[in-house]
Structure 1
């Protein structure tokens, strides 16, 4: 029997994996979604969310190869995806990836960030993973996962007083213990990529879990598909 088409819109999204104590006991920043959340309730996740229309208007720089990899097979402007990642990080954790600078004309959605005396800085972001939410979920996202070192923050990594209440129990979790948390499947996959990154360094290509292409479930951005 032919499966009915999934009409749930896929929204572009961005996520930040903050990495701390890389040389000693690597840890990542995670928070728990609420029990009543419509998407992944109770799960521990990295901070992130959907791209807002205003994110495309944010002027920020990106380092290569992140800029090139984001542009590969993507209709979204790379700087919009990076801006969304930085904005969501600020909103959900109160952490600032930015540089000191006045921003008197900050657009709506960014005024709280601007009030800290910073403008967003995308040069710390490394694009390491992309995944589309599988069919059947109430919400679907085309999410780009960025890695950033905690020492690039312009804020105290242990201060979450400016965070909104979307994520609870914000804390740093050692990679050696993180799988004891209630994690979504895709988060476990991304964590494996982070661990590989720590062992071998940045990869030449970025894994892409399409979740809507039976022939090519996993491909590589800025490179050939492993199934070609």
Structure 2
């Protein structure tokens, strides 16, 4: 069976923010020249949700607000799969761990065996849902991407050790937000960067999450609020 490459796939992207209240920087890498999607561009770690992501248990769940906002205009049950995809993609593409020390129940799936061998189980406690974007029609790949912000202090281990990363992204590096636009970025990454720059030093989540919706009719900005019920004090 062949895969319909024009189909819209759910995806998760991770923006790791370092020195948030000083001179903040973000972790980015360069996609290969032969990549079908955004070749040569500097991007955040991320990728499509796999079918098995929904089967992986989280040691710590998503924060209530994050879960509620992910639920808005999304199919039921997708929230945890997106969180798992974000943690998995960060590990695969950078070798950095979002998790807590612990042992897995049974043999981990193949994609998670190297993560588990480090002595960790995935945790979504540090994920902050900050942006959603749908790839415009006519592109070779289309994704419904959710962008998660993570404070670098939540990452386990050495923030400068990328030795366990796959080769999907090259030139992994911490880039100051003030200098990021000097790199070859996709348009949507520039839009997300503006959002991150505006909220980097905010300690409380904003009132809503931007949703850049591209369809056959128009490109629209919507806002996702997703207040959890009941409201938390």
> Common fold, TM-score beyond 0.5?
yes
Aligned to 1:217, the other structure's residue is in SS state strand
Distance in 2, Cα, partners of 1:215 & 1:167: 32
Within a 5 Å distance, the mapping from 1:175-190 to structure 2 comes to 175-190=177-192
Secondary structure of 2:191's counterpart equals helix
- What is the aligned partner in structure 2 of residue 149 from structure 1? 151
- In the alignment, which residue of structure 1 is the partner of 2:15? 17
Change (3 A) 1:167 1:18: same
1:124: how far off? 0.2
* Residue matched to 1:84: 85
- Tell me which residue corresponds to 2:127: 125
In the other structure, the counterpart of 1:198 is 200
Alignment of 1:43-62 (within 5 A): 43-60=41-58, 61-62=61-62
Could you give the per-residue CA deviations for residues 75-126 of structure 1, whole angstroms, max 9, x where no partner exists? 1520000000000000000000000001242123111111110000101000
Stretches of structure 2 lacking an aligned partner (at least 5 in a row): 227-233
TM-score with structure 1 length normalisation?
0.91
Q: 1:55 is paired with a residue of what secondary structure?
A: helix
Aligned to 2:229: none
Write the mapping of 1:67-146 to structure 2, written as runs, cut at 5 A. 67-75=67-75, 77-103=78-104, 104-146=106-148
Per-residue deviation, 1:195: 1.1
Q: 1:15 and 1:202 mapped to 2: Cα distance?
A: 18
118-127 or 193-202: which moved more? 193-202
Q: Which deviations, in whole Å up to 9, do the C-alpha atoms of 1:172-201 show, x marking residues without a partner?
A: 000111100000000000001101112554
Is 1:209 the counterpart of 2:216 in the alignment?
A: no
Counterpart Cα distance in 2 of 1:168 and 1:199 = 28
Describe the SS at the equivalent of 1:203. Answer: coil
For the residue of structure 1 that corresponds to 2:54, the secondary structure is helix
Partners of 1:114 and 1:108 lie apart in 2 by 10
Mark the runs of 5 or more structure 1 residues left unpaired by the alignment: 1-6, 224-228
Structure 2 Cα separation of the partners of residues 68 and 40 of structure 1: 30
What is the distance in 2 between the residues matched to 1:121 and 1:16? Answer: 14
- Name the SS of the counterpart of 2:148 in structure 1: strand
Q: Is the 8 A contact 2:20 2:201 kept in 1?
A: no
Structure 1 position 59, deviation (Å): 1.6
The alignment partner of 1:194 has SS state of: helix
Q: Number of matched residues?
A: 218
